[in-house]
Amino acid sequence: MRRAVVTGLGPVTPIGIGKASFLEGQHQGRSGVGRIRRFDTSALPCQIAAEIHDDLSSWVDPKESRRLDRFVKLALAAAALAVEDAGLSEADLASPRVGTLVGSGIGGMETWEEQSKIFHSRGADRVSPFFIPMMIANMASGQIAMRYRATGPSSTVVLACATGSAAIGEAARTIRLGEADLILVGGAEAAVTPMAIGGFGNMKALSTRNDQPQAASRPFTASRDGFVLGEGAGVLALEELEHARARGAHIYAEVVGYGSSADAYHITMPAPEGRGAQAAMRAALESASLAPEAIGYINAHGTSTPANDLTETQAIKAVFGDHSGKLAISSTKSMTGHLLGAAGAVEAIATIQAFESGVLPPTINYDDPDPELDLDFVPNRARAQQVEYGMSNSFAFGGQNAVVILRRWS
């Protein structure tokens, strides 16, 4: 039976770019949230986000950059990091057996807003001819394929906040079916823009803790008041086991389970008691042929919204029963903010790094526990603890859910 293993990690996040910096940020409990620098927020109720201020020119040529939306630039940087980490050469990648599957929940929001202003102020003939290919959501996957001349299966998933996890699950299936030997897979998002902040803010989905930005993302606490929007990308080199062994690759982990479901309930609110989340977790366990007791760690969706954190906790209790009290659960969104379509991929990388380092990332800002949410959320400090199996949860607007189970490689 063909198996899908992870051989390269490419995180681009508000708390660190590259696996070493990202891991250090997790272990330090670093917050990437601050007041928004990119545009004037004085008229907005929410004035904070988790932005990336690093120079991306090491990974994206400045000339090429002018024709790329920011989410594609972040994806290209993440792919370059994953390729380097996996020890892949140009010859390894330029193959019909190598694919790309990098999703985005929103796509080129920044480009859309900029070109919309031009259209309304200067007319249609001033809209950039690159507008469409810059903003469409499949362009991260397409640009990565072009950069590495990877001519195998190339596609995109768009599942809002569940995009990154769904991409990993679908890429693992593609490898198991024998349609590819290696896939650069993940998600990218760059939606820290005036319209996105305004839209999410008007939904009352965002934290307005503007005076304490680093304390604003506080999953599972009594005082949580909304999520903090972030930007970033995560790309993994996902490879068929024997293909990885043949080239002497370092193997981090195996993707052993994937489950998806629909709440079929509401456009933004999770189903009562997390019924859809329960279904996705159970489906992932079934696909991995695992009993619930095998899972040692969950990287929770944990957005810091009142409804999500409650229903996810209820869902975990329903699926894991008595074992839920023994699980270590943390939300790395407390540090990175919510990366939307990139979240699942970045959080899978965090889970894999927990295997590799033997240290679980914390849920920071956990200083006022919600008595209704009484599980072990690895509060405030990273914890030395080795686990064999980790679950990564992603639950999206539209009621679409994706759950990935990873196994530590030994």
**Phi, psi for residue 219 in degrees, rounded to 5:** -60, 145
**Mind giving me the DSSP string for 61-88?**
-HHHHTTS-HHHHHHHHHHHHHHHHHT-
Angstrom distances, CA of residue 108 to CA of 48, 62, 121, 179, 392? 20, 18, 20, 29, 26
Element (H, E) at 239: strand 232-240
Which residues are part of the catalytic machinery?
A: 161, 301, 338
Among 266, 300, 307, 294, residue whose Cα is nearest residue 280: 300
| C-alpha 305 chain-centroid distance | 17
Contacts of 46 (CB under 8 A, 6+ apart): 197, 200, 201, 206, 207, 208, 210, 226, 229
3-state helix, strand, coil in the chain (%, to 5): 40, 20, 40
Dig out the tokens for 239 from the structure: 């490879």
201 three-state secondary structure: helix
